[in-house]
Amino acid sequence: MPAATNRRNIVGVNAETVTNVSSTDFPGHWPGEDHSWSVKHFRRTFKVKFYRNTPLLSQFDLIHTDAAIANTLRRIMIAEVPTLAIESVYVSNNTSIIQDEVLAHRLGLIPLRGDKDALKGLSWYLRGEDATPREPTDEDTIVLHLKKTCERNPDAKKTDTDPDKLYINHNVYASDMVFEPAGRQIKSFARDPVRAANPDVLIAKLRPGQEVDLTMHCVKGIGQDHAKFSPVATASYRLLPDIRIKKPIRGKAAERFAACFPKGVIAVREGRDGEKEAVVDNARNDTVSREVLRHDEFRGMVELGRVRDHFIFSVESTGQFDADEIFLSAVGTLKAKTINLKRDIYKMLQKQALDAKRAREAENPDVDEGDAMDTQ
Amino acid sequence: MTSKAEDILDGMEEDDDELTMPDEGLSDIRITTSFELQLPGEEEGSASFEIIGEDHTLGNALRYIIMKKWVRNFGFWVPDPEVEFCGYSIPHPSEDKMNIRIQIYPEYWEQTRPYDALMKGLDDLGDLCDHITHAFKEARDKFVELGDGSEQG
């Protein structure tokens, strides 16, 4: 690629300003160049590069796509990929100092996990317009129980002051929630029952005589409705930083130059003449803090920027689904949206055509005159 | 205007297999028909659509892909965009609505209507999704094969 075309993708970052911020790869912007959408071209240029792939954290690059697409996928991951969370809490007894509604809210935010296929197979529990809620079924609702009563420890010494030794069951943890499978769930969740993703989440503290006894209904929902349904702790992207050294930086200045960047970004190498020189080692690690632009000695020697079509994604799962699966669900959701919308446009056009036909028939009654005679 | 809709229907084949949804619960997208609410500003070659249950998520992606509007290849080299303008807006944050406006250059009025541009945009977005899924799985599987955790060149 010629240098000029390459620089088009660089967003300039100056001390106080940014330059070249908008993408220009659409038809009609560059004379004689075709930037119209082409799947073939996209297939050739689009790249994904992985840097980390663990169940809870995925880091990967999407290269040669637009911010509109990257942002759409990020937004879908946060707000539209469905997960299971506690939705209703039925309190049989709560004598702890945490109020029912606060306790219910805390419970709702606890990330759950379980058999992934079975979770994906759950249907939506739709409350509908009716005042009386629909009866929950094994297809759409998971039931959890939580019962814990605090007692004095009879073996505690009189001199003990540590609550752990004085009391039994004085901490209520997320791991105390017990899954009660119903119907088909007995089989589908047999290998991997529904439980808290992080067993050590402290829900409440109790003292002797206090008790919590709750039944919880978990349903599938999306982050748009409530943050507890969001499958990601964070899903974010940043643009790949770009550092261009315009004039060689040698000697002691090279060390000072490297010190303006995070570790590993600038390497100081020894040239053939034995003199040290600063070179860009790994721009990916840069935070684009612009520290280097504050130093007069480097004025005009370096250009900072970001690559406009290189997105460094970081997806952190809450534990219900694997991070990479969440991204794939997001892409699937976007695809589903396009299919739905196409279907609805089709329906809309069908209705319009039908109404137009009726209107025309009403205008020219000759067509159905026979019918009109019959009714008379 | 209504006869236009009929024309499009004639040229469109209903592909039921493609229209089956993997996840029915998300099918919350509706376009209001012109009879429910006539969006102003419709004339030859331009129209606005009101999409219910959508926001910036779909709006911006759709706007991007429609603005990158294809040109039918007639063998001429110089490309010429068909879509003059495509923009979206959320008229009010407390209404679950997204408006999208499409205008076609007058030269293309005969062959392309805003409906076509919208449908093509959705098709393109679908193709894009398919390829992202493919490329993502490929890259992930390759990464996992090469061993986890370490950076890969």
What is this model's ipTM? 0.86
Structure tokens at A28: 């009609």
Distance from the Cα of B102 to chain A's closest Cα (Å) equals 15
- The per-residue pLDDT for range A353-373, each reduced to its tens digit, is 888 888 888 887 665 544 444
Asked if residue A6 has pLDDT above 60, the reply is yes
Q: How many interface pairs between A and B have CB atoms less than 8 angstroms apart?
A: 197
Interface check A203 vs B, CB under 8 A: no
Question: Rounded CA gap, B86 and B105, in Å?
Answer: 11
Among chain B residues, CA nearest to A332: B129
pTM over 0.90: no
- CB contacts under 8 A, A 120-159 vs B, are 123-124, 126
- CB contacts under 8 A, A 220-259 vs B, are 220
Q: Which of A4, A11, A40, A3 is nearest to A311 (CA)?
A: A11
Contacts of B71 in chain A (CB under 8 A): 27, 34, 36
- The per-residue pLDDT for range A91-100, each reduced to its tens digit, is 999 999 999 9
**pLDDT given at position A367:** 54
**pLDDT given at position B13:** 44
Asked if residue B33 has pLDDT above 60, the reply is no
**What average pLDDT is seen over chain B?**
73
Percentage of the residues of chain A whose pLDDT score is greater than 90: 64
One of 2.40.50.140, 3.40.50.20, 3.30.70.940, 2.170.120.12 is the CATH number of A83-229, namely 2.170.120.12
Interface check A40 vs B, CB under 8 A: no
Asked if residue A163 has pLDDT above 80, the reply is yes
Distance from the Cα of A183 to chain B's closest Cα (Å) equals 22
The H-assigned helical ranges of B12-152 are 16-19, 56-67, 114-145
Domains and CATH numbers, chain B: 2-145 (3.30.1360.10)
Interface check A28 vs B, CB under 8 A: yes
Strand intervals (E) in A202-251 = 202-205, 211-221, 232-245
**pLDDT given at position B30:** 53
Asked if residue B14 has pLDDT above 60, the reply is no
Radius of gyration for chain B, computed over Cα atoms and rounded to the nearest angstrom? 19
Q: Which of B9, B34, B64 sits opposite A69 (nearest CB)?
A: B64
**pLDDT given at position B74:** 52
Confidence band, pLDDT 50/70/90 cuts, at residue B31: low
Looking at the domain covering A1-26+34-81+231-245+301-358, what would its CATH class be?
alpha beta
Confidence band, pLDDT 50/70/90 cuts, at residue A2: very low
Distance from the Cα of A376 to chain B's closest Cα (Å) equals 31
User: Can you say whether the dihedral through the CA atoms of A215, A221, A223, A229 is positive or negative?
Assistant: positive
Residues of chain A with CATH 3.30.1360.10: 1-26+34-81+231-245+301-358
Q: Under a CB-based contact definition with an 8 Å cutoff, are residues A315 and A323 in contact?
A: yes
**What average pLDDT is seen over chain A?**
89
Residue bearing the bigger pLDDT, B32 or B104:
B104
Contacts of B65 in chain A (CB under 8 A): 37, 68
Specify the pairing of strand A10-13 against strand A83-94: unpaired
What's the rounded mean pLDDT across residues A69-90?
A: 94
Contact A51 B51 (CB under 8 A): no
Asked if residue A58 has pLDDT above 80, the reply is yes
Question: Rounded CA gap, B52 and B38, in Å?
Answer: 14
Q: Which of A50, A80, A331 sits opposite B133 (nearest CB)?
A: A331
Among chain B residues, CA nearest to A120: B23
Q: Under a CB-based contact definition with an 8 Å cutoff, are residues A112 and A179 in contact?
A: no
Distance from the Cα of A92 to chain B's closest Cα (Å) equals 32
Confidence band, pLDDT 50/70/90 cuts, at residue B114: confident
Confidence band, pLDDT 50/70/90 cuts, at residue A24: confident
Interface check A79 vs B, CB under 8 A: yes
Confidence band, pLDDT 50/70/90 cuts, at residue A128: low
Structure tokens at A364: 């020219």
Q: Choose the weakest-confidence range: A126-130, A137-141, A171-175, B93-97.
A: A126-130
Contacts of B74 in chain A (CB under 8 A): none
- B/e letters for A116-132, b = 16+ CB within 10 Å, e = fewer, are eebbeebebbeeeeeee
Contact B131 A340 (CB under 8 A): no
Interface check A339 vs B, CB under 8 A: yes
The gap from C-alpha A331 to its chain's centroid, in whole angstroms, comes to 12
**pLDDT given at position A343:** 87
What's the rounded mean pLDDT across residues A279-305?
A: 93
